[in-house]
Chains A and B, each alone.
Chain A
Amino acid sequence: MKEHPYDRLEDVVQDDIFPEVDLALREGRHIDRDDGDRFTFLCDAQKLLEDFYKRYGCMLVRVTDGYFYLLPSSDQFGRRQLTGAEMIAGQALALMYLDPASIEAAGVVSRQQVIELLSGLLGRERLIHILDFRRKRRDEKVEQDVIRKGIDAALRTLTTLGFIAKVDEDRFRLRAPLTRFIEPVRGLGDPRDALARLVARGEATLAQEEDEE
């Protein structure tokens, strides 16, 4: 860890780690303490990078839970919204993150646990409708395939975005950025008001729109 933070933006950009951190943030990745040097770099260079990214029409957000991410605030910067499958998988993973039982498992969960939790909370029919609303007729085997593939795809995206880390084909490690999914209910007030504030800040949207380039 550097003893002194950076004095100038030039020093930040000249640092060897800047390109990989910059690319990761632009691709939507959330960087937390588990990322080691990247996180330390962002902590040291936060002030300078906030002004730097503002010029591109996005904000460098630092959350007290201990992670950074870029939030586009204008049309200049490309953005994507998480799909329905990614939203429900993210919330299920956030629920597991809060569960004390996850400590005993060293913060590692399996794909099957995610599927079981979602099936239990949403019900199978609603789960399938979220994952594949176009399909009308299906049998049990097809339903299982739809669920497995839908959740697989969502977990892959969430891994790329830094919400979880892949341990092996079936298991994932929970990471602090999952607390983004908790934001609407973090306070004691009405979750709808909290959600409205998130929408006003550009953190979330209430309707699924076309992906923007």
Chain B
Amino acid sequence: MTDPHRLIGSLQRAGVRLALDTTDLSLLVALKARAERDSLVSFEEEELYSIFEQVFDLTEPDAQNPRKRATYAIQRLREQRLLSRVDGVGLAGPGEYSMTRLAIGIVDFFTADEALTRESLALLTKTLASQLTEVLREARTATDADKWRLAVVNPLRITIGELVAGIERRQRGLDDQQDEIRAEIGRLIQRDWFAAIEQSESLLERTTRTLQELNEVLLQDAGHLQSLLQEIEQLASQAGAKEAEAAAQRVSEQVDRVAAWGGARLRSWSDYYQLVQRYLRDVVRLDPERALSQRLRDQLANWPDQRFHLWTARSGRIRLLRDVDAKHDRPPVRRPRENRDRELAITARADPMEQLAARVAAALADGARTLADVVVCALPSVPTDEQYRAAGNVIALVARNAVAEMERERPWRRTIGKLHIEDWSITPKEKP
């Protein structure tokens, strides 16, 4: 490496900087993917615009004028030495561009990080075990809250958490890879029916081997990692270090997930493997010309005119007989016979006011000397919703048949239900 001071100085003078947002990274990834797919070493300008517009459709679908944005993106990437123009035409015509080493290195960093192999997984789990051993040693000698936080909690959250997250990231990468392989097998079979057998089987075998290896590593190492974490958790619990205990539990759950992933993926891939093998054996090998599907399609389309029905067995279940009860004779249904006609009686319709007047007169004759007493005697037989109006009639009758005494204060008294009246002292009038 050249003199770092000189290099730093020249960078400062030239104002070199690197500023990439997510869209810029996506553009570089798209360029690299296209270059690998089509074995390109450079891109023509129109091709560059086309790729960039496709990326903008995904990353910024609502953005206006993608062509202009693509122009700015190309300029930005050139200024940061991620794209270089490789033709000699100059400004006179459209150019040709290629990715620089810097751009390729940046893309490789993000894509290579997702690769999961037996070696990378073993390295990660061994590193994880080593870090946990160190944390356990610190946990055994931690005496106060600060020590627990610095020597146990922080490493668990940051360093170890990142390692486990790294494994999970790689697992996601392998999941994506498996999805791609399934899609590839589907495409192979659709494109080249019979010839796809060998290629499909090769893809299946390779992925099965990878998953088996990964699962072996996980089974071996997960147990050791969990025992280290359990010991840390126990020490934290005994010391009352709740934060450390919680951090250890979280990492333990992450390790569980990582270990469970291996078994689940192997089972799932095993089912898929059997499905494809069965398909290749039962369908592809029996019908290398792919004519069977077309004949079946014709059979179904013509079925309404050429009906046939398959037979299947249908033997009824064994009948379970219920216990026999002796039959009892039930008496016949009868109804009483009688003359249901009744003589109608003629009754006079009672006048409610006359009845009320009679009750008021009776109350006065019995010695009622206050308005409230008369109301209490006269209203009980009146329905509740009519009592208020009837009370008014009672007072009118009392005024006709008695004399009210003028008193300075007349108390309010409750009579029947919720009916309150201002009570008057009364004296019945003498009858002529």
Q: In the complex, A169 Cα to B295 Cα: how many Å?
A: 31
B15 to chain A, nearest CB (A): 52
Q: Does B314 contact A (CB under 8 A)?
A: yes
Indicate if the CB atoms of B304 and A99 lie closer than 8 Å: no
A-B contact count (CB 8 A): 150
Q: Does B1 contact A (CB under 8 A)?
A: no
Q: Restricting to B181-197, which residues have a CB under 8 Å from any CB of A? A: 182-183, 185-186, 189-190, 193
Hey, which chain B residues are within 8 Å of A79, CB to CB? 311-314
Instruction: Pick the residue among B193, B299, B309, B315 that contacts A204 (CB under 8 A).
Output: B309
Q: In the complex, A72 Cα to B189 Cα: how many Å?
A: 38
Hey, which chain A residues are within 8 Å of B278, CB to CB? 33, 66, 176
User: A207 — nearest CB in chain B belongs to which residue?
Assistant: B307
Q: Does A58 contact B (CB under 8 A)?
A: yes
Q: Does A98 contact B (CB under 8 A)?
A: yes
Q: In the complex, A211 Cα to B301 Cα: how many Å?
A: 25
Q: Does A88 contact B (CB under 8 A)?
A: yes
Q: Restricting to A175-191, which residues have a CB under 8 Å from any CB of B? A: 176, 179-182, 184-186, 188, 191
Hey, which chain B residues are within 8 Å of A186, CB to CB? 292
A118 to chain B, nearest CB (A): 8
Instruction: Pick the residue among A83, A126, A195, A202 that contacts B311 (CB under 8 A).
Output: A202
Q: In the complex, A199 Cα to B190 Cα: how many Å?
A: 34
Indicate if the CB atoms of B296 and A78 lie closer than 8 Å: no
Instruction: Pick the residue among B291, B297, B311 that contacts A81 (CB under 8 A).
Output: B311
The count of chain A contact residues (Cβ–Cβ below 8 Å) is 67
Q: A79-B314, A100-B189 are in contact. Are A91 and B299 (CB under 8 A)?
A: yes
Q: In the complex, A206 Cα to B303 Cα: how many Å?
A: 11
Hey, which chain A residues are within 8 Å of B217, CB to CB? none
User: A213 — nearest CB in chain B belongs to which residue?
Assistant: B316
Bitwise, A78-113 to B at CB < 8 A (1) or not (0) is 111111100110111011011111111011000000
Instruction: Pick the residue among A33, A72, A84, A121 that contacts B300 (CB under 8 A).
Output: A121
Q: Which of B149-157, B218-226, B269-277 contacts A (4 or more CB under 8 A)?
A: B269-277
Q: Does A77 contact B (CB under 8 A)?
A: yes
Q: Does B355 contact A (CB under 8 A)?
A: no
Q: Does A26 contact B (CB under 8 A)?
A: yes
Q: Does A13 contact B (CB under 8 A)?
A: no
User: B305 — nearest CB in chain A belongs to which residue?
Assistant: A126
Instruction: Pick the residue among B190, B296, B297, B309 that contacts A83 (CB under 8 A).
Output: B309
Hey, which chain A residues are within 8 Å of B183, CB to CB? 104
Q: Does B308 contact A (CB under 8 A)?
A: yes
User: B316 — nearest CB in chain A belongs to which residue?
Assistant: A78
Indicate if the CB atoms of B275 and A103 lie closer than 8 Å: yes
Indicate the member of A25, A95, A126 with the most B CB atoms within 10 Å. Answer: A95
Bitwise, B334-372 to A at CB < 8 A (1) or not (0) is 000000000000000000000000000000000000000
Hey, which chain A residues are within 8 Å of B276, CB to CB? 103
Q: In the complex, A179 Cα to B292 Cα: how many Å?
A: 11
Hey, which chain A residues are within 8 Å of B185, CB to CB? 103-104
Indicate if the CB atoms of B311 and A72 lie closer than 8 Å: yes
Instruction: Pick the residue among B189, B193, B307, B314 that contacts A28 (CB under 8 A).
Output: B314
Indicate if the CB atoms of A106 and B307 lie closer than 8 Å: no
Instruction: Pick the residue among A82, A98, A101, A121 that contacts B190 (CB under 8 A).
Output: A101
Q: In the complex, A184 Cα to B313 Cα: how many Å?
A: 20
Q: In the complex, A102 Cα to B292 Cα: how many Å?
A: 16
User: A90 — nearest CB in chain B belongs to which residue?
Assistant: B310
User: B295 — nearest CB in chain A belongs to which residue?
Assistant: A185
Indicate if the CB atoms of A87 and B309 lie closer than 8 Å: yes
Q: Does B72 contact A (CB under 8 A)?
A: no
Q: In the complex, A27 Cα to B315 Cα: how many Å?
A: 6
Q: Does A70 contact B (CB under 8 A)?
A: yes
B294 to chain A, nearest CB (A): 9
B41 to chain A, nearest CB (A): 34
Q: A94-B296, A176-B282 are in contact. Are A28 and B272 (CB under 8 A)?
A: no
Q: In the complex, A101 Cα to B64 Cα: how many Å?
A: 38
Q: Does A65 contact B (CB under 8 A)?
A: yes
Instruction: Pick the residue among B291, B295, B303, B314 that contacts A78 (CB under 8 A).
Output: B314
Q: In the complex, A205 Cα to B190 Cα: how many Å?
A: 35
Indicate if the CB atoms of A205 and B311 lie closer than 8 Å: yes
Q: Does A115 contact B (CB under 8 A)?
A: no
Hey, which chain A residues are within 8 Å of B301, CB to CB? 121-122
Q: Does B266 contact A (CB under 8 A)?
A: no
Q: Does B293 contact A (CB under 8 A)?
A: yes
B224 to chain A, nearest CB (A): 34
Q: In the complex, A129 Cα to B304 Cα: how many Å?
A: 9
Indicate if the CB atoms of A27 and B314 lie closer than 8 Å: yes
B256 to chain A, nearest CB (A): 26
Indicate if the CB atoms of B282 and A69 lie closer than 8 Å: no
Q: In the complex, A156 Cα to B138 Cα: how many Å?
A: 62
Indicate if the CB atoms of B279 and A69 lie closer than 8 Å: no
Bitwise, A110-137 to B at CB < 8 A (1) or not (0) is 0000000000011000100110000000
Indicate if the CB atoms of B304 and A184 lie closer than 8 Å: no
Hey, which chain B residues are within 8 Å of A143, CB to CB? none
Can you sample 19 A-B contacts with CB below 8 Å? A25-B313, A58-B313, A70-B313, A72-B311, A79-B312, A79-B313, A79-B314, A82-B310, A91-B303, A95-B297, A103-B182, A103-B275, A104-B182, A104-B186, A106-B272, A107-B275, A182-B292, A184-B308, A195-B306
Residues of B within 8 A of A (CB): 182-183, 185-186, 189-190, 193, 271-272, 275-276, 278-279, 282-283, 287, 291-293, 295-301, 303-304, 306-317
